[in-house]
Structure 1
């Protein structure tokens, strides 16, 4: 027999309450699924089969492994179908997410869904996903706050006290759980954005620090370049360590150089080889900068085996 009990006062669940409830449900499903997947991976690893994970990453997985992986993904959808169908056809008429937000699912007459009806509603939700979530967004604009899959399945999402003996308990304002859910989501998005920014900014800052150390080491060679150029002009040849006031390899070049060699290249041009040290960075210590005095224009040119991101533009390969 069709029920018309208290149908004159129904508070339909708005978009934000529904969205927050779905977020909670997806979080529960996701944690359960990936937690199970991780546990299985650990057990397989303990049994000595971690190579299947490596084959997935390399793209060379054998068919049996791929079938198992696809089966596990399909298992997620089976679990999701049972999760939504069993909860929404239960006496609570709601998933844990909907219960937390104080809403429930009913048919068009305010009655509890059967398992088959709830399962059909879950399948119909595929349409809302296929429409790039526009189907879900419809709940913000339709008269009874119905999403696309509600229209297809003939269901309503209402306040938990709708179609009950106490319709006066229905909430029309934002409940505490909804506000908390929105804050959690905003916080998570904020953390995610900060994480992305940090992932971009920290390497850039590290590159800046190493570049500043390289620049400092290069600046320390400025007096040597002047001494080398003056010696060549006066003597007609390139100086070596110990000549023209140039000190030994280990005693010149500033605090960021482990040694500095002054001499000539194979083409007869004068040069300075500076090996970095004491920089505090293992990838920078041991790096080498070469300065070469051009025989024609008397200008210095630099090259290096240090990564380009840490070098000034004129020294990059």
Structure 2
């Protein structure tokens, strides 16, 4: 069957990165740097990306890698790479910086995209975060792996196009197939950070289709895992008034999207279009993200269309 080998390599890379992240979280005084967009980044983000990029480049040297981080901040200020060197004892600082920058590839016919720590603020709070790896061919995600060390006892979500979604325990290795439709859950999964979308609009839409249970708040693409495993039924990231033209980054959604889809759910933009990962590092042809367990998706899209039709002329002009 296709993509089994790619999935196995992505799983192995995610496990190594998870070991590094746990080591940093428990053994090193956590501090963060601030990127140009004012989002935080830690040595664990850089170390995780170095390990994954090295792993992918060794096994798939012809594949480009499009990742969130670059080594620019680290090259400007001294840092220590003990967490990486613990896993790769002979690694030099220059090698580690170069491995990080393997992730500065371009979108091609076939490429990998990764977020070494999705939900860095959650990581800093010792809450939810995810290590996200996805393989994309011809604009379609073929393999998705999410390592979610703080999701229940810690688990990997793994999906291969046409072959379903599995949940693998990080502790025991036990694996089971997931179906988002097995236990329908009318609960909204939403970001802890209120700047991630328009929370008031999203909650209003959820209520309009019958969601009355308090929302499940969690950082990172772990929300996709929550839908795939039946802990939630809906996740939305709708453009907010201050940034109506904002477009999502591909590494923030590629792995999660296939995990929901292969569990029987649906993922589209707010207009019902499939996500197009073939254009750039951003989903420039898509507005917003809607992920659901499937059966409610049409109702969600209809509610969004109704809500958006009621926006003021000023908001419409911003679109």
TM-score by length of 1: 0.22
TM-score where L is the length of structure 2: 0.22
User: Which has more helix, going by share of residues?
Assistant: 1
Whichever of the two has the greater Rg, that structure is 1
- Where relative contact order (Cα < 8 A, 6+ residues apart) is larger, the structure is 2
